[in-house]
Amino acid sequence: MNSAKILVIDDEHTIIEILARAFASRGHLTAGAVNGAEALTALGASEFDLVLLDQVLPQTTGMQLLQRLRPLTRAPIYLMSGDSSEDTALDASFLGAAGFFAKPLNINEILDIVDRLPQRRA
């Protein structure tokens, strides 16, 4: 894939920065949002190829936000959570998530997903 545009929604700035560096090393662009309002604004302003969504956010949960984001984008949305139970992954899938990443994150696993994204149309 050429350059992907990725939205990372996580209230921990460090997570956004680490992922942004990893994506930039492969030529991808990253936007960050630390809460639901910022995420909705970002999706309203731009199109993304992938959305990474943390489960624990201020004033909402990732599951609640997933339900609001799903109709706004065709990009795959992956939930990220420290709760790596099968129930969490199944709930995310039921609500429209393309997949689930357990925290602590495996950056290579995420980069593999980015590498498999379809080519962006010019």
Domain boundaries, the chain: 18-82+96-115
18-76 tens-digit pLDDT: 999 999 999 999 999 999 999 999 999 999 999 999 999 999 999 999 999 999 999 99
- At 50, list the tokens: 């992938």
**Better-predicted residue by pLDDT, 121 or 96:** 96
| 30, 121 contact by CB (below 8 A) | no
Pairing status of strand 50-54 against strand 5-9: parallel
Please enumerate in sequence order all residues whose Cβ is within 8 A of that of 47, keeping only pairs 6 or more positions apart, or say none: 5, 73, 75
Q: Which fold has domain 18-82+96-115?
A: Rossmann fold (3.40.50)
Pairing status of strand 56-57 against strand 60-61: antiparallel
Alpha-carbon span 80 to 95, nearest angstrom: 14
Residue 119 has what pLDDT?
Answer: 65
48-63 tens-digit pLDDT: 999 999 999 999 999 9
